[in-house]
Chain A
Amino acid sequence: AQTVTQSQPEMSVQEAETVTLSCTYDTSESDYYLFWYKQPPSRQMILVIRQEAYKQQNATENRFSVNFQKAAKSFSLKISDSQLGDAAMYFCASFGNEKLTFGTGTRLTIIP
């Protein structure tokens, strides 16, 4: 079984600043993948970044990067140079045993 926990229901950040969203997970799988999804008001879940658990190097996609701490089962998302378009719900998810399991999400507000 997998569980994903996001302990920050809401976060806010000043435009152009950096923000970190937290996520912890638990899984019995030895082979798994971790994701961050973004859900803007349009409701479509958009894949932001992906991390293979067997890779030690943290994934990076432009302004988005992760801090993957496998032993601590922690997978945080850092957004640099925050932009107004980054405002959305952010969901952490874990894929293992053919199932994608989501956390409860963090609502990110960007302050102009």
Chain B
Amino acid sequence: ETGVTQTPRHLVMGMTNKKSLKCEQHLGHNAMYWYKQSAKKPLELMFVYNFKEQTENNSVPSRFSPECPNSSHLFLHLHTLQPEDSALYLCASSQRATGVAGYTFGSGTRLTVV
């Protein structure tokens, strides 16, 4: 039990599809994050939610749409993706946005866009 659960583990989607990634944490954290992990590149921070409010959007294309209905759940809605969006998408959580204790990560969703 990792504390941060991501579903699905793998996802293959066409460029015209709409899908959603889900992240759930049961650690009592109130900050949640989406990261994109591509080969040979540093993890890229996409979105930050602090107390359910989006506090960071790192110039992410609008084809990625986050949703945070409460402090325990985070979604990433996907539509009209491109092949270069294929990557591992990692969700993380922390206590507030200070992160000084480190983030807790899920196991990610491996996304392939065909």
Interface set of A (CB-CB < 8 Å, partner B) = 4, 9, 33, 35, 37, 42-47, 50, 52, 91, 95, 98-105
Contacts and interface: CB of A to CB of B under 8 A. Distances in A.
Contacts of A43: 88, 90, 107-108, 110
Given A91-B43, A104-B41, A50 B88 contact: no
A45 B92 CA distance: 9
Given A42-B107, A43-B108, A98 B102 contact: no
A99 B45 contact: yes
Given A44-B2, A45-B90, A33 B43 contact: no
Contacts of B33: 100
Interface stretch (B14-22, B60-68, B73-81, B93-101): B93-101
B39 to A, nearest CB: 10
A43 B109 CA distance: 9
